[in-house]
Structure 1
């Protein structure tokens, strides 16, 4: 990892498979003079409302993962 817990595109932690599928953030609707906030929502990239989201987080789909217990923390090699 290059930064504080951030996985970059050229790194795949533990060799797992994942892909971005949407965003989560403030959902707006058209207003008279400017957009009006409506809700906080997770919206897929193929949803037409995605252009009305002010994103705060990227939503990822995990295709392959391993569930690990918290009793034995795993260390990452450097």
Structure 2
């Protein structure tokens, strides 16, 4: 088992804040199905990556997800 550092907890909070942003931003999507699909997609990303412990990889995934989110919200 890997010992989690302060940086891990900071990143965890960042992911939670990002989830809140996604939820709020999804309100601008007019189609309810697309809105719930966007939130479900993001939640799936969190679940898929929850096992990661490498800080660099976690930061990279956060940045990638932010780019993807911006792209999804632009299209909608």
Based on CA coordinates, which of the two structures has the bigger radius of gyration? 1
The interval holding the TM-score normalised by the smaller chain is under 0.3
User: Whose helix proportion is higher, 1 or 2?
Assistant: 2
Q: How does the TM-score come out when normalised to structure 2?
A: 0.22
User: Whose strand proportion is higher, 1 or 2?
Assistant: 1
Q: How does the TM-score come out when normalised to structure 1?
A: 0.21
* Structure with bigger RCO (C-alpha 8 Å, 6+ apart): 2
